[in-house]
Structure 1
Amino acid sequence: MSRRAATRAGVLMLATAGLVGTLAPQAPAAPATTTAVAPGAGAPARVTGVDPAERLRVLRTVVDSGAATWDMARIVEGGRTVWKGAAGTAVRGTGRQVDPDGRFRIGSITKTFTATVVLQLVGEGRITLDEPVETYLPGVLPDGDRITVRQLLNHTSGLYDYTDDPRYVPVDDAGLARWVRTDRWRTYSAATMVAEASERAPHFPPGQGWRYSNTNYLVAGMLVQRVTGRTWNQEVERRIVHPLRLRDTSMPSASPLIRGPHARNYTRLPSGPVDTTELNPSVAGAGGAGVSSTADLARFHSALFRGTLLRPAELTEMKRTVPTGLGVRYGLGIQRLDSLDGLGCGPLWGHAGGIHGSAAYLFGDADGHRQGVTAVSLYGRADTNAIVTRLNEAVACTGKGGAA
């Protein structure tokens, strides 16, 4: 989730780094699976620009390359799934196939949910985007009188990113082993993590630069709770998950479980692989604790960009972007990708995310008509960016230069 690792991996890995762990060597893979879906039972799939065989080949290639234990993807047009597929092994050491409808940790895609709730509160007149954070959370930030709500949501606050601290994200084998044994079960306090991050020098004065910082969204979650009297999790589920009937989506506080069907993730230690699918997500909080599925994420994206969740004024603010210096523009909890790093289509709107071995990508067009969603259990190889770029291109693009 940190910018440090995002820069290393490239723009399509932005927001997946920091908490994305390395994975164990892959077990013998189960066959890839694919499904093409079209209106009407038994009707052949006919989707402009979607070649099911090519999409499946790319999924298989990612697993065969050693970059991932499994991956899955879905393409949705007009609210209908037109293709979905999966490759790899759901459980190491077995031939169990990956369920393309399964659930996974979505990491920083959670930020888009959190930002949507904040913008709903803006639309209700309970929060003002350009009001200082100090107005709502007095004494929480040293520069709270100069950092605005908008600057939290678009990462221009300058706040130090707490995930750059090895106490929260291991940077060596010893730290990773400690995390596996004990730290992944700890419950972390957002207020404590924000306080500790505030003791570190900011990256720049508020509004004078851009740097991805997960601390911003811990503060945003605290803001939601102060204004509504309910936790950010409760508000996301009350305002988004339940109304949209996102049955695979949850925003856990501290539960280490992924409920429902899901593939496993592994962390590689010098002594061998360890199953680390279960972890306490409180370390990610409002910036990355979510669990979902490709179907639910596509539905969320469609509702968001079709204006179901936000009024036009707030959706316009969400899409008001700033440059990042990484070849991608950032709005309020949303990324805009143009044609870059080999991605042959655009602009695409959405977010990437990752947390300890699991990465996810949600991108689609500006009017919510088409979505491409990918989830992958990464090994963390040096060439991961090129592989993931190709994977996202295959899923998000029509193949003819059009936006997903």
Structure 2
Amino acid sequence: MRFADSFQKPGDRFLRDRYKHYEPEDLIAIAAGKPLEFEPGTEFAYCNTNYFIIGLLIKKVTGRSYRDEIRERVLEPIGLTRTTLPGDDPEIPEPHARGYMRIAGRTEDVTLMNPSEAGCAGEIISTTADLDRFLVALFGGELLGEAEFQQMTTPLPREMIRDLPMGIGYGLGLMKLQNDKNMDLWGHGAGIPGYATFAATTPDLSIRVQLSITLDADFGKEAEQAVIRGVNTAVCF
């Protein structure tokens, strides 16, 4: 059940509503109003709605927002000083690349938007250096215990996966990335109008890649393919 299929789409809707605030409960309700794609537990498809639900669970369990928990548990302990959770703030810390998107046959600058539409599924703004530091901390054992990390990197059976953009296996919030050398490469991709990103590493941290891509393209499959091409160019030499 995905709110993005009917809601988070480019075009006139984006230009009209780019600075609008969205409550996570309202976005979840859009997804909940749709029929199931498959019976729970029988298949897996990547879905941003799940992360919105996790954000509400964090607040229910801790009494604090997911932003506060991420800052205290992740950003501050490992020194991610250039990583922010902007909430409703449409501005991006300088310096930054500008994002573009094709809308009705025109190239539109879509750099600024209220990121509440992405919420805890993708509102974080970071740098390639901070992404690299995060991977080193995660795979180096600074953030999780061994049992938790093993759960995170144990992929679902491949036959369960129906849809996984840019990936061929999925654990808990980490995907195994498709690449031309069949390298054991783990990380996660992201997309928001105007931008596509990916951060990945081999488990031993010997090969790491962080990508930040701006495109003059439709938001969706074109961005996913651009990330896959970028990863292959970076690691499959």
The one of the two structures with greater contact order (alpha-carbon pairs below 8 A, sep at least 6) is 1
1:384: Cα distance to partner? Answer: 6.3
SS at match of 1:347: coil
1:321: Cα distance to partner? Answer: 1.0
Which consecutive unaligned segments of at least 5 residues does structure 1 have? 1-159, 171-175, 400-404
TM-score, length-normalised on structure 2?
Answer: 0.89
- Structure-1 separation of matches of 2:122 and 2:224: 20
- Structure-2 separation of matches of 1:161 and 1:383: 19
Which consecutive unaligned segments of at least 5 residues does structure 2 have? none
Q: Which of 181, 188, 191 in structure 2 is aligned with 1:354?
A: 191
Q: Which of 368, 373, 377 in structure 1 is aligned with 2:205?
A: 368
- Structure-1 separation of matches of 2:33 and 2:223: 34
- Structure-1 separation of matches of 2:80 and 2:131: 8
Q: Deviations over 1:30-67 (max 9, x none)?
A: xxxxxxxxxxxxxxxxxxxxxxxxxxxxxxxxxxxxxx
Residue in 2 that maps onto 1:392 = 231
**Which residues in structure 2 correspond to 1:85-100 (within 5 Å)?**
none
Residue in 2 that maps onto 1:329 = 169
**Which residues in structure 2 correspond to 1:202-241 (within 5 Å)?**
202-241=36-75
**Which residues in structure 2 correspond to 1:332-347 (within 5 Å)?**
332-337=172-177, 340=179, 343-347=180-184
- Structure-2 separation of matches of 1:384 and 1:208: 28
Q: Which of 161, 178, 181 in structure 1 is aligned with 2:13?
A: 178
Q: What's the RMSD between the two structures over aligned residues?
A: 2.1
**Which residues in structure 2 correspond to 1:11-50 (within 5 Å)?**
none
1:302, 1:371 within 8 Å by CA — same for their partners in 2? no
2:200, 2:208 within 8 Å by CA — same for their partners in 1? yes
Structure of higher CA gyration radius: 1
1:247: Cα distance to partner? Answer: 1.6
- After superposition, the Cα gap between the structure-2 partners of 1:236 and 1:396, relative to the gap in structure 1 and judged at 3 Å, is farther
Residue in 1 that maps onto 2:112 = 278
Q: Which of 92, 108, 120 in structure 2 is aligned with 1:258?
A: 92
- After superposition, the Cα gap between the structure-2 partners of 1:387 and 1:270, relative to the gap in structure 1 and judged at 3 Å, is closer
2:9 is equivalent to residue 169 of structure 1 = yes
| Amino acid of the structure 2 residue aligned with 1:331 | G
- Structure-2 separation of matches of 1:385 and 1:220: 24
2:98, 2:194 within 8 Å by CA — same for their partners in 1? no
TM-score, length-normalised on structure 1?
Answer: 0.53
1:318, 1:333 within 8 Å by CA — same for their partners in 2? yes
Q: Which of 145, 148, 153 in structure 2 is aligned with 1:314?
A: 148
- Structure-2 separation of matches of 1:309 and 1:202: 35
1:352, 1:359 within 8 Å by CA — same for their partners in 2? yes
2:211, 2:231 within 8 Å by CA — same for their partners in 1? yes
Give the aligned length. Answer: 229
Taking only the aligned residue pairs, the percentage that are identical comes to 35
1:319, 1:331 within 8 Å by CA — same for their partners in 2? yes
- After superposition, the Cα gap between the structure-2 partners of 1:385 and 1:191, relative to the gap in structure 1 and judged at 3 Å, is closer
- Structure-1 separation of matches of 2:168 and 2:19: 34
